[in-house]
Chains A and B, each alone.
Chain A
């Protein structure tokens, strides 16, 4: 089939799955989305982030020092579409939709098969793993795009005497600036490329040195950032040694008392840490995680979906078998596929979460490639079988039915069930709060907003100030001034952000209190004082807007 038609099909599917109802699903802007969006708006208006730092390389954000690339790339979208859900989500959705096209060319370079490339790109275009994060402004999608484009350029240049290695260097550098996981993964992967293709690299060493020099210059500021501590804060907070389970283990050992030297060596914290990490790493190969419930769209034991569709499971296993036993491929490229599969989950395994789909995005597109290979091999085997055409058509029909059912099931889970189960983690209700308080701010001397809420406990801390800034399109200079002056009570205009305590706060005059039912229990508050109740997506009343005297 014509290459352009194949690419167009993939692009249309990618765009449809990522842009359909983008402003409504996910059901609310997350904390990260809203703060990134507002920082991009602040850069657009003032050239500084909302803390007042001019064109930073690490955005302080909510003291987690976010990677800069997405925020800068978001500026044009916010300029054109405005500071709203579309403006904030458009950039990542676009790069996410373009990624399958890059994967098409990448797989073509690795395997040399247009059919398998198409299946791989198609698998990624409909992948729950990739769609989920493309729709919600996750930096990892951007980093993945740059990284895959860099690898594609590198492999394409092998046949062209290193022609575009300079571009690979730029793209790899951009990926490192885009997301934290890539800071570990990209250098390791580059070492891998060097190890596998050292002959060709040495053959065109001038081009290779040029690429290295460009990357070095681009990454020099990044090195200073890491050394300064701003770049390290995120890595330190998420490293697996901070994991709660591991800390409990260590505490347990300490409480047991003194040990013999042999015991200290043989069952000390090093061995425990190593064992813990090995367990975490191996969890990324769990079939339940990959094909049944890895995306955590619903509560445990509820129907869920994996990183890949359920119907891809047999083809994935088949693809692995084909890759090991049947596929005739240059040994460097075969090793590249295997080592990428092994290396992919490494950054994710070093963090303090188990089975984190976002952090293991670095594995893409290898699982899709393997499943596509298995599928292609199955189709070839089917064609070789001496069975009636009608039987073959029945098989194709069954496969199409399976695909259709999987997609229907996934989209149903994503658009219907996911918001019902987890709208609170997406800060649902904050937009409504922001819109209400802006509309009515002149009626009150102050509006006090409490950030804490939750469903089964008061265990979620939002950043309502960011939603109020965003939906009010507040001038960034105001919040920059607040950040500089550091008042005792954080707030701007007549908004104050602190904990609400009804027994005391009820005595305040002309004040609007905004908090969850944990702080403003409807049983304690006179009904006439409750101005508005804002529920979660599942209609559970969550936020109460209460006016005082």
Chain B
């Protein structure tokens, strides 16, 4: 007798859950949290758009064009409001769908892993937020993944090549342009593992061409948007600290050590500390964020997923083959580089790229740990409680 429940049932169920958690954003009166400037710019029907091109923090035409499309068709701002939100919702769900497909393709023998990954992505606060509020990063994240999906398509066709080019372009002209160097490195690695290299090579070459044209465009504004996005190295505090340490060494210690130990190379240590600090568990996982000082009301991931992420990360080197575990690790590290360069504090939005491998490790950890039914029962209970507490706070704070 055929089973009444196939693999599709949980998939549809998870998509429905994802939709439910995101659709409320369309009805929320809030555009986004106060500092989501790109949302505000997107929806203001004024000449600000031109001014934006000169502003250091909003040289982002692609996302604005898409979010403001109804304005150019002569429709009212109210329509723009719902259009932008609806588009974010669509992009968020598309993001889930694409990642699900990529995982199925990358791990053909696994049925549970893609499902668990879908679950993690469906309920995690950061991805829910990106779907609820129109931001350039939300657009960029989906476009970035779409480009990869087309890149992994078999057989690679002209259509796929166009897809790679189009979505790379969208990524490039959104806030997610910072992610493209990481994407290029990953793409090159994937290229090395592929058999049919010709079309793959064309796709990468096209993306590279787009990236070069973007760099040329930036040159017209003296690379201002790029410089402002690499704010970490403008932090004068670090330079002053190194100079002060050198002075202390000369006055109280050994002058020859002043330059040897405290020089500009130390800036790399500061950066490395900040870069690795992004991955700290207290940054990533929470029940609810104690203060609302960050852009989002919560940390990116649910607290209940912490042990699964840790276990998944550590056991990936035993469970997966060496090339796969290495590429995943590289994805995790490359994903965090753009946000580490953008600021000297934890910049949650640009860090969204690194959350993809984090979600994957979490799902991988779940496949190992949840084999025992006793662990499953605890997990369902804590997961349910965590979801209720987290989203209750979010809904009440957002005025729903």
Contacts and interface: CB of A to CB of B under 8 A. Distances in A.
Contacts of A417: 245, 248-249, 252-253
Contacts of A286: 277, 280-282
Contacts of A2: none
Interface in B252-285: 252-254, 257, 261-262, 266, 269-270, 272-274, 276-277, 279-282, 285
Given A276-B290, A278-B287, A271 B315 contact: no
Contacts of A299: 241
Contact of A324 (B245, B288, B314): B314
Interface of A: 245-246, 249, 262-263, 266-267, 271-272, 274-276, 278-280, 282-283, 285-288, 291-293, 298-299, 301-303, 310, 320-321, 323-326, 408-409, 412, 415-417, 419-420, 538
Nearest to B289: A275
8 contacts: A266-B392, A285-B281, A285-B282, A288-B273, A288-B274, A408-B257, A409-B261, A412-B253
B389 A267 contact: yes
A359 B317 CA distance: 33
Given A271-B287, A325-B317, A408-B261, A303 B277 contact: no
B237 interface: yes
Contacts of B252: 416-417, 419-420, 538
B389 A293 contact: no
A77 B261 CA distance: 38
B238 interface: yes
Given A283-B280, A286-B280, A412-B249, A271 B288 contact: yes
B281 A303 contact: no
- The 5 closest A-B CB pairs, nearest first, are A325-B318, A416-B253, A282-B282, A292-B273, A286-B280
A275 B286 contact: yes
Contact of B389 (A266, A321, A324, A412): A266
Interface string B278-309: 01111001111111000000000001001000
A311 to B, nearest CB: 12
Interface of B is mostly: helix
B377 interface: no
Contacts of B209: none
Contacts of B285: 278, 282
Interface size class of B (residues with CB under 8 A): 35 or more
Interface string B106-140: 00000000000000000000000000000000000
A271 B389 contact: yes
B231 interface: no
Interface string B345-358: 00000000000000
Contact of A416 (B248, B269, B393): B248
B245 A279 contact: no
B241 A301 contact: yes
Contacts of A249: 290-291
Contacts of A321: 314, 317
A293 B317 contact: no
Interface string B297-339: 0000001001000010011011000000000000000000000
A381 to B, nearest CB: 13
B389 A282 contact: no
Nearest to A322: B317
B277 to A, nearest CB: 4
Contacts of B244: 302
A420 B290 contact: no
B396 A263 contact: yes
Given A245-B290, A275-B288, A287-B280, 4 more contacts: A266-B389, A279-B286, A288-B274, A288-B276
Contacts of A326: 318
B185 interface: no
Contacts of A408: 257, 261
Nearest to A289: B280
Contact of B280 (A278, A285, A412): A285
Contacts of B91: none
B188 interface: no
B393 A302 contact: no
A248 B367 CA distance: 40
B370 interface: no
A420 B250 CA distance: 12
B242 interface: yes
Nearest to B280: A286
A293 B273 contact: yes
B237 A303 contact: no
B162 interface: no
Given A282-B306, A286-B280, A292-B269, A416 B290 contact: no
B388 interface: yes
A287 B276 contact: yes
Contacts of B248: 416-417, 420
A266 B279 contact: no
Contact of A325 (B289, B315, B396): B315
A222 B23 CA distance: 59
Contact of A310 (B241, B257, B269, B303): B269
Contacts of B318: 324-326
A293 B317 CA distance: 29
B269 to A, nearest CB: 7
A120 B354 CA distance: 33
A385 B242 CA distance: 40
A71 to B, nearest CB: 34
A351 to B, nearest CB: 16
Contacts of B279: 287
